Structure 1
Amino acid sequence: MQIPTTNLVLVFLFALHYVNRAIVYPMRMSADSQGVPLLVAACAAAITTLNGYLQCFHLTQIVRHPPLTSSLELDNLSRWAGICLFFVGMGANVHADGVLRNLRRRNDDGDDGGNEQDGTTTTTRRHRRHRQHHRQRAYHIPRSPLFARVSCPNFLGEIIEWFGYSMASGFSLPSVAFLLYTMSNLIPRGIAHHEWYLRKFDDYPIERKWAVLPYVV
């Protein structure tokens, strides 16, 4: 069986990530998830569009990577290693997102004491709404092997994804630029999340010392 060209594989990996991020992930979110400001969504769409154009233009018009083969040459092995890293990172990202999403569903579980009957006082209805709001705003510490050392393995997984993608592309300029952009975006967010966890939970696991990158930050 003929193996697809390296360029085609890279385009597929890039598209696979954004199919998950733009279609699958939103469809699996809770209806009560916190909204995203329109300006933030517009900026993310603009950056993603520009990056998608640069990556695809480079892969279809600028460079032709050597084909993937079964040889043991270092260049070929590094491309295969990069592809494997991409899937490892994507798996970690999807799993960690699932853990966090299930925490939200856990917050939304439970009934509100039954349907309100005729004669229910305004105060009782207000108390029920308050309990429901409190339940939806309850927070829990995420638990999973991926969370053993870092607070944001979803961000770590995405960084691994794009490092693998960059390795598979021979560390081309567009792929390295996107990797650096991803890290500059996710690492500060991860640090902020880690600090929030520490403030929020007195019993936050002491072994979970790092925000995104184990033994680094």
Structure 2
Amino acid sequence: MDAWLGMEEADILRYTSFGMIAAGVLAAVLLQWIDAPYGRYQVKASPLWGMAVDNRVAWLLQELPSFAFAAWGWYTADPEAFGAANRVLLGLYLLHYTHRAWVFPLRMRGGKPTPLSVFLLAMVYCLVNGYLQSRFLAAHATFAAGWTESPQFLAGIAMFFAGMYINMDADSILRNLRRGPADKGYYIPRGGMFDFVSGANFFGEIVEWTGYALASGFALPPVAFAVFTALNIGPRALQHHRDYRARFNGSKGKEAYPADRKALIPFLL
């Protein structure tokens, strides 16, 4: 895989990273006017977004390419380039997508189906990003001797696991809000980072991938991933915050939404 379409693979990875950042900017702009049509915002029977796909099947299939690329990258890595830092970072990526592709869908409780177009866009993203991160770490990333003992690497790893914990804890809180499959109501999530922000799960994932980028020494592909993540799901957190405040406005006997809770960044945003 040294060259493809006349370009060296390192160039492909660099251009793909810049493309991902540009796609994130575009997504952030579009999401100011368009509510992503899945979950609570799904438009029923809308031909614009395509047929409905079972949400468990959608999650498994859309996340699977990232898992598969990471596993493939691990077993086909260039021994000379695949040092300790490379193994740790690719291992973290594989850990995340093992959970996302295999554990998270199995723990879902009901939920609305995913529109086909949203499912396909997510799958394409995981294909592109899976290739980008896996090939970069398996064959192209180089780190200074002793990098795994550096304060920046250790701080990044700590951030990654802190963000992963916040994300998984928030998912658990959301999953347990409803009393069973027949319960279609919406409730105010409490506990964990939800005491500070409406988008606790999104905040956790942004922290997770920012830590990954930090541990990589802010190499371009991990940075592109972290930037795209923030630009893509950050607006979703703002959207959730507006929806929660509209649903729980304290009128007609409704419980009021916590006034001091922010949307995405504790105490700030």
Cα deviation digits, residues 163-195 of structure 1 (max 9, x gap) = 000000000011111111001111110000000
Matched to 1:38, the amino acid is: L
Give unmatched runs, 5+ long, in structure 1: 109-131
The aligned residue for residue 82 of structure 1 is 156
1:177-196 equivalent positions in 2, closer than 5 A: 177-196=224-243
Cα distance in 2 for partners of 1:98, 1:90 equals 12
- Deviations along 1:120-148, whole A, 9 cap, x unmatched? xxxxxxxxxxxx5xxx2211111103111
CA offsets, 1:26-59, max 9 Å, x none? 00001x2111112211110110110111111111
TM-score in terms of structure 1 length: 0.79
Q: Give the direction of change, closer, same or farther, for the CA distance of 1:173–1:183 in structure 2 (3 Å limit).
A: same
> Which of 178, 193, 207 in structure 2 is aligned with 1:160?
207
Cα shift at 1:214:
2.0
Matched, 1:51 2:129: yes
Deviations 1:179-213 (A, max 9, x none): 110011111100000000000002101121x1111
Residues in 2 aligned to 1:86 and 1:49: alpha-carbon distance in whole angstroms: 22
Q: TM-score, normalised by structure 2?
A: 0.64
Q: Contact conserved, 2:169 with 2:192, CA < 8 A, in 1?
A: no
Match of 2:220 among 173, 176, 182: 173
Residue of 95, 98, 103 corresponding to 1:19: 98
Number of the residue aligned with 2:267: 215
Query: What is the identity percentage for the equivalent residue pairs of Structure 1 and Structure 2?
Result: 43
C-alpha RMSD of the superposition:
1.6
Rg comparison, structure with higher value: 1
Q: Which amino acid aligns with 1:79?
A: F
1:176–1:6 CA distance, 2 compared to 1 (3 A): same
Partner SS for 1:103: coil
Task: Specify the SS of the correspondent of 2:222.
Answer: helix
Corresponding residue for residue 170 of structure 2: 96
Which residue type is aligned with residue 216 of structure 1? L
Contact in 2 for aligned 1:6/1:67 (Cα 8 Å): no
Unaligned runs of 5+ in 2: 1-82, 251-255
Task: State how many pairs are aligned.
Answer: 181
Q: Does 1:66 align with 2:117?
A: no
Aligned-pair CA distance for 1:215: 3.5
Is 1:141 equivalent to 2:141 in the alignment? no
Q: State the distance in 1 between where 2:159 and 2:143 align.
A: 18
